[in-house]
């Protein structure tokens, strides 16, 4: 079974910041990737790169640590959706408006709705929209 992986979860793997429950959830999602496939919208790699670059600029990450993380991401069972852009100004924009999300966050919700997949996220607004849209949250256990 596949699930949609929000960038907030993956960046928790790198930064290990946030509430202990969030870190534990992110680690459980990472463990689930041993047997399950994650789906991500095509903007996912750009979002990840942005967090990495900003973390390095702020002195929170070294380039070596960032590169090791990039290698880890490349080894994980993560598949990038090729239809994200085709839905961006239609379904995704509609979801962003309806649930008052950024278009970036709405792309994860759109992908989950389109594929019938649960969504793994730590973002409070996206969690709320996920429930309201009838998408199941990803339960890694």
For residues 132 and 70, what is the distance between their CA atoms, to the nearest angstrom? 33
- SS3 labels along the chain: CEEEECHHHHHHHHHCCCCHHHHHHHHHHHHHCCCCEEEECCCHHHHHHHHHHHHHHCCCCCHHHHHHHHHHHHHCCEEECCCHHHHHHHHHHHHHHHHCCCHHHHHHHHHHHHHCCCEECCCHHHHHHHHHHCCCECCCC
**Residue 123 annotated as lining a ligand binding site:** no
**Residue 91 annotated as lining a ligand binding site:** no
Numbered residues of the known binding site for Mg(2+): 6, 105
- In the annotated binding site, the residues are 6, 105
């Amino acid at each position: 079974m596949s699930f949609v992986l929000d960038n907030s979860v993956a960046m928790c793997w790198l930064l290990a910041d946030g509430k202990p429950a969030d870190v534990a959830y992110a680690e459980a999602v990472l463990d689930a990737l041993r047997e399950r496939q994650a789906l991500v919208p095509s903007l996912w790699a750009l979002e990840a790169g942005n967090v990495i670059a900003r973390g390095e600029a702020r002195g929170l990450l070294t380039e070596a640590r960032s590169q090791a993380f990039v290698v880890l991401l490349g080894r994980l069972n993560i598949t990038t959706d090729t239809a994200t852009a085709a839905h961006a100004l239609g379904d995704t924009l509609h979801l962003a408006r309806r649930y008052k999300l950024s278009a970036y966050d709405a792309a994860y919700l759109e992908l989950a709705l389109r594929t019938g997949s649960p969504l793994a996220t730590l973002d409070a607004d996206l969690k709320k929209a996920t429930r309201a849209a009838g998408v199941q949250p990803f339960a890694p256990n």
